Amino acid sequence: MTTDPSSSVAQARSELGSRLRQLRKSAGLTQQTVADATGQHVTRVSRIENAAQPPTERNIRDWCTVCGAEAQIPELIATFQATESAYLEWARQSRAGMRRLGDLHSIATYRQTSTFRIHEPLVLPGIFQTEAYIRQMLAFWYTFLDAPDDADATVAMKQERTAAALSPTKRILVVLGEQALRTRRGTPSDQSDQLTHLLSLMRLPFVSVGVIPAGVQRRAIGTIGFWIFDNNAVALETPTAAIKVTRPQEIALYAAMFGQLQSEAVFGHDARQLIARILADL
């Protein structure tokens, strides 16, 4: 499984290009014929088919019409729209404030989700974060993305979202890298409060937290954090984009990766002892 979060977009574009190529070939048309009939250069037709350039909705409509496949238009346009909306630029979205970033990390989605599977190698999941931790994280992103400061509103939103997730009706399965526990946000006192808070949440019967020790022999390669919402979608975040994965085949791969990561983690008493040792080092 690749760890490149934009791979789902590239693959979906490739599949769309392949479907358009198949429509052309099934109609017995050459690339030049489609180019002439749709008012495009033949090079653009080739680039669309090879996913080097995305089509427009008008391209799809004209292409299907030329190939006598008008019935395919609604499905192909829906596929195109889903593909292009899967990759959301943080910098563009953040101009409206940090509290509006990403539909998967919305209060509504957290309320609707029954089972969360969360892997975070370097940071603590938002639903485990104290207010001090949240504000330290936000301070970096406001500067990095040149976003308007809506910290108070964002903290309030995150707290409401956490309340929606931390419900006995949910299952929250988490695998953390040890570095997520050791990376300090704020003062040593802030870090101590954060880890103490984490220990209290680990006592909840519907929360399972595993920690992959830094020195353990590793097999799985999970270098980026991801959240699986039931079996409906996967959310990933990079410094510049939020990625939403909805293809069933890819969701299954992330679920398999999560299972591999769980197998390398320690749970229960061993996980709490690891956290206690980190607290003692503060």
Residues 49, 108 within the same domain:
no
Q: At what angle do helices 57-66 and 73-86 cross, to 10 degrees?
A: 150
Q: What tens-digit pLDDT sequence spans the chain (282 residues)?
A: 444 445 556 777 888 999 999 999 999 999 999 999 999 999 999 999 998 888 999 999 999 999 999 999 988 887 787 666 666 666 666 666 666 556 678 899 999 999 999 999 999 999 999 999 999 999 998 898 888 888 999 999 999 999 999 999 999 999 999 999 999 999 999 999 999 999 999 999 999 999 999 999 989 888 899 999 999 999 988 777 778 888 788 899 999 999 999 999 999 999 999 999 999 998
Whether 2 is in a domain gets the answer no
Task: State if pTM tops 0.85.
Answer: no
Whether 92 is in a domain gets the answer no
CB-based contact 69:27 (threshold 8 Å): yes
Q: How many domains does the chain have?
A: 2
Give pLDDT, residue 8: 57
- DSSP letter (8 states) at residue 200: H
Residues 83, 164 within the same domain:
no
The Cα 116–Cα 110 span in angstroms is: 9
- Residue-number span of the structural domain to which 74 is assigned: 7-87
